[in-house]
Amino acid sequence: MLKRFKKQFGFIPSNKSVRGSLSGEDDKIGGDKLTAAGGLAAPTGDARLTGFTVLEIIAVIFIASLGLIGVLALATQNIKVSSLNRNELIASQLAQEGLELVRNQRDKNWLDGNDWKLGAGAGSDSDIYQDGTYAIDYNNGITNVTGIDSPDAVLKINNGFYEHNSGTPTIFSRLITVIDNASDYMEIESNVRWSDRGQIYNYAVNTVLYDWR
């Protein structure tokens, strides 16, 4: 070691403690080991630094991701349920309105002195039987339609009210179905259909109308 020191610096230190320190093959300097090759050895024991490994970081990221996915799925489900509940509430009101409109037309036929079912005549705007299926709204009365998938069955919003003839189309369609069982009563079904997130939903209500007058 002294030879290497002399070769590098051109002299040999006279201090014995220094010479003795330099002559060792494996002395400690500031807590680190000085090797014979002149480099510092890796620290051992308590001197070794601690930290996170790559696997630990990946595990933490994975667990955090699972938590975020769960929260996102719950939020998405809440939005879907909220939309479904809102549309079902609207559909229930529209279906009930359909029955009330048919009932009102029957009462009007009585007041006009006409037949309670056929009104002014078979096929007229006041005929609540028609051919068994039709659309009806508060503004335009009865309109013959081929089925609930018909464009004429689509409900539109016009000045805040639902009707079939004019306005902005909605996701709802309504069809009135009538079964004439006898001369004194008829079965009425009001069915509302709508599409939400690729699924088709139906809400139907039924009643029986009598010629009780």
Residue 48: predicted pLDDT: 52
In this predicted structure, the answer to whether residue 163 has a pLDDT above a threshold of 90 is yes
Quick one: angle between helices 16-23 and 2-9, nearest 10? Answer: 110
The pLDDT tens digits of the residues spanning 115-158 come to 999 899 988 888 998 888 999 998 888 988 989 999 999 999 99
DSSP state of 1: -
pTM given for the model: 0.64
Q: pLDDT tens-digit profile of 80-118? A: 777 788 999 999 999 999 999 999 999 999 999 999 998
Please calculate the CA angle 190-120-138 and round it to the nearest 5 degrees: 40
Tell me which residue of 136, 121, 150, 152 sits closest to 190, measured CA to CA: 136
- Per-residue pLDDT at 209 exceeds 90: yes
Residue in 122, 110, 158, 123 with CA at minimum distance from that of residue 138: 158
